[in-house]
């Protein structure tokens, strides 16, 4: 088999670093060795005869990728000879395609796919706060309806029950803000003998410490004419003291006596008979008319009236 014609010299005689001697050749330097290297005069190019090197050396940055193959290179390929210029495979028709690099999405980037769902967290937090506020409001509404009055005496079909409570724990309310519900010291009421005024027991809240005594006898009474803005159901509160023993009296409203007596019980469960240590409060339901109403507390037959009276007050009930 006949070897191919490689020109005036073989590739192994080429100096691969000959281009480095470019400046030397220009200055007239003598080439190293017998062969002609890059940068030195060589045999003149002959038509149809390829160069002595398979690869054509180019200055760094001169090669342009993606361009069409020069006509001379195409002719080498047609003759079955090595091409004088190398180009990346992807620059030729049908060459290997480049692989696109997928865009990277960071877990903490600014896109919606990364990071926590802050909108959902905000909605959840608002919902929790709303539930807590509604629960507190409901608790306040339900607790506000409880009656702090402890003692309850029978009246209009009621039965005696409950415990004592201070008047300050049960503030007065009014149906008409312009005309508050009435409260009156027992000492300023109309008294029925043998009821009388006294000031010798401490703890009375009436003017000057006065209270009503002498009530432990049939016929003793106090009468109060109270003005009411609107008709309706109310409560009559009475502050009293007993010698650590239950008592009761008759309550008459607008001329009609209640079926059950007014309970003046020992709600604080005191065992000390001293009067000043047994002040407490009771109440009874009453139906009052608009305008003036007459409320009477009396000691009648069958009552246990060993009691002293401090004040009377009407409240909504």
User: pLDDT tens, 232-288?
Assistant: 999 999 999 999 999 999 999 999 999 899 999 999 999 999 999 999 999 999 999
Q: Please say if the pLDDT value at position 315 is more than 90.
A: yes
Prediction pTM value: 0.47
Tokens of 63: 């090669």
* Alpha helices, DSSP H, located in the chain: 22-26, 71-78, 118-144
At a CB cut-off of 8 Å and minimum separation 6, what does 296 contact? 221, 222, 223, 224, 251, 252, 253
Q: Which residue has the tokens 């003005």?
A: 227
Cα 154–chain centre separation? 48
Burial 78-113 (b: 16+ CB within 10 A, else e): eeeeebbeebeeeeeeeeeeeeeeeeeeeeeeeeee
Question: In DSSP terms, which residues pair with 281 in a beta bridge?
Answer: 239
Please write the tens of the pLDDT for every residue from 9-53.
555 555 566 556 555 555 555 555 544 444 445 555 566 666 555
Cα dihedral 28, 32, 34, 37 in deg (nearest 10): -80
Q: What is the mean pLDDT of residues 57-74?
A: 54
At a CB cut-off of 8 Å and minimum separation 6, what does 144 contact? none
- What is the reported pLDDT for 223? 96
Q: Please say if the pLDDT value at position 178 is more than 70.
A: no
More confident residue, 248 or 167: 248
Question: In DSSP terms, which residues pair with 236 in a beta bridge?
Answer: 284, 314
Q: Please say if the pLDDT value at position 225 is more than 70.
A: yes
Question: In DSSP terms, which residues pair with 233 in a beta bridge?
Answer: 287
Q: Please say if the pLDDT value at position 172 is more than 80.
A: no
- What is the reported pLDDT for 187? 87
Q: Are 47 and 69 in contact (CB under 8 A)?
A: no
Q: Are 147 and 162 in contact (CB under 8 A)?
A: no
Average pLDDT over the chain reads: 73
Rounded CA-CA distance 188/197 in Å is 9
Q: Please say if the pLDDT value at position 96 is more than 80.
A: no
């Amino acid at each position: 088999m006949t070897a191919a014609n490689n020109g005036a010299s073989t590739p192994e005689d080429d100096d691969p670093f000959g281009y480095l001697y470019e400046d030397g050749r220009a200055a007239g330097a003598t080439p190293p060795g017998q062969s002609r290297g890059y940068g030195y005069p060589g045999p003149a190019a002959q038509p149809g005869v390829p160069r002595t090197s398979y690869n054509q050396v180019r200055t760094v940055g001169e090669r342009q990728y993606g361009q069409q193959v020069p006509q001379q290179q195409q002719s080498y390929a047609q003759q079955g000879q090595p091409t004088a210029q190398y180009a990346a495979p992807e620059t030729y028709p049908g060459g290997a395609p480049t692989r696109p690099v997928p865009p990277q999405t960071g877990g903490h980037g600014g896109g919606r796919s990364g990071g926590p769902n802050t909108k959902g967290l905000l909605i959840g937090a608002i919902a929790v706060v709303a539930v807590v506020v509604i629960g507190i409001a409901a608790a306040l509404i339900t607790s506000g309806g409880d009656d702090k009055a402890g003692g309850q005496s029978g009246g209009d079909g009621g039965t005696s029950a409950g415990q004592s409570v201070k008047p300050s724990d049960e503030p007065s309310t009014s149906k008409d803000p312009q005309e508050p519900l009435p409260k009156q010291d027992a000492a300023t009421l109309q008294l029925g003998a043998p009821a009388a005024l006294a000031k010798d027991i401490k703890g009375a809240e009436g003017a000057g410490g006065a209270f009503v005594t002498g009530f432990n006898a049939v016929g003793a009474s106090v009468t109060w004419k109270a003005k009411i803005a609107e008709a309706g159901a109310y409560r009559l509160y009475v502050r009293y003291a007993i010698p650590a023993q239950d008592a009761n009296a008759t309550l008459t409203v607008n001329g009609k006596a209640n079926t059950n007596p007014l309970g003046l019980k020992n709600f604080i469960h005191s065992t000390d008979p001293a009067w000043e240590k047994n002040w407490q409060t009771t109440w009874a339901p009453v139906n009052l008319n608009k305008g003036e109403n007459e409320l009477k507390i009396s000691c009648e037959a069958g009552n246990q009236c060993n009691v002293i009276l401090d004040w009377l007050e009407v409240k909504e009930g």
